[in-house]
Amino acid sequence: MTNVICMKWGTKFPPLYVNRLHSMVKRHLARPHRFVCFTDDPAGLDPGVEHFPMPSAGPADAYAVHGWRKLAMFAPALGDLTGATLFLDLDVVIVGALDPFFDYQPGEVCIIRDYRPVRIRGDRFVGNTSVFRFNAGQHPQVLEEFTRDFDAIRRRVRNEQEYVSHWFHARRSLHYWPEEWCPSFKHDCVAWGPASYFSTPQLPQGARIVVFHGLPKPEDAIAGTRGKWYRRIRPTPWIAAHWH
């Protein structure tokens, strides 16, 4: 049995996002699995979605909408889960088989290598935790150290994924998904420059999970948004074909 988990706290995402993620996982993961949402409010979740209360993320609990709370996935007890666990952000769109995410480098911690903005800064080992695999309950030191050194860590790194990346990289245990598996919608699907005004965003070959970090979100991309002045996002119907 493998686990696919997500977290929903506060009001940023409605239950619809959890339910659609659950539906996509069911369609794209063939092996036996549990789908579990950790949440402070299970109202509106489909009956097939298992849910547990949000575990504590130490001092990050005070930040109702801040991404630091994702560090709760490193709690010593993550509900009753054990074994290989794939964490997915709520706003990803699954477009291909998920089984390879459990077959790739089994037993290791795997993460997306982050996209262009972080690479420009030079710390190329930093990952994106939108799609992240680990073994439940095996790394409580991540949260323990964060709880102990909260103020110093927040001065040193910008967010939870930088902290997680630095923590595992320092221990030579950070691995990355094949680059084509988890494209960024805004960096890898949308054309650059003036071409974005005339080209519908394309689904890259080999993609399995399209990541919507920041803006736009999937519903924005389906409808089409103006995006930045230098980069328009045209209506993208292929997202609707997958995001349900």
Question: Distance between CA atoms of 184 and 84, rounded to whole angstroms?
Answer: 24
Query: pLDDT value at position 223?
Result: 94
Q: Which pLDDT belongs to residue 65?
A: 66
Please list the rounded mean pLDDT of every run of 10 residues in the chain (244 residues): 95 96 98 97 97 94 82 95 97 98 96 71 80 97 96 91 94 94 95 90 98 93 81 93 98
pTM of the model: 0.94
**pLDDT confidence of residue 122:** 55
Output the pLDDT for position 118.
47
Structure tokens belonging to residue 178: 């094949």
Phi/psi-derived region of residue 173, left when phi > 0, alpha when psi is between -120 and 50, beta in every other case:
alpha
Full set of structural domains in the chain with CATH: 2-90+98-176 (3.90.550.10), 185-242 (no CATH)
Write the single-letter amino acid at 10. G
pLDDT in the model for residue 231? 79
- CA distances 197 to 100, 193, 222, 228, 235, Å, are 35, 8, 15, 11, 11
* Amino acid letter for position 96: G
pLDDT given for residue 63 in this prediction:
74
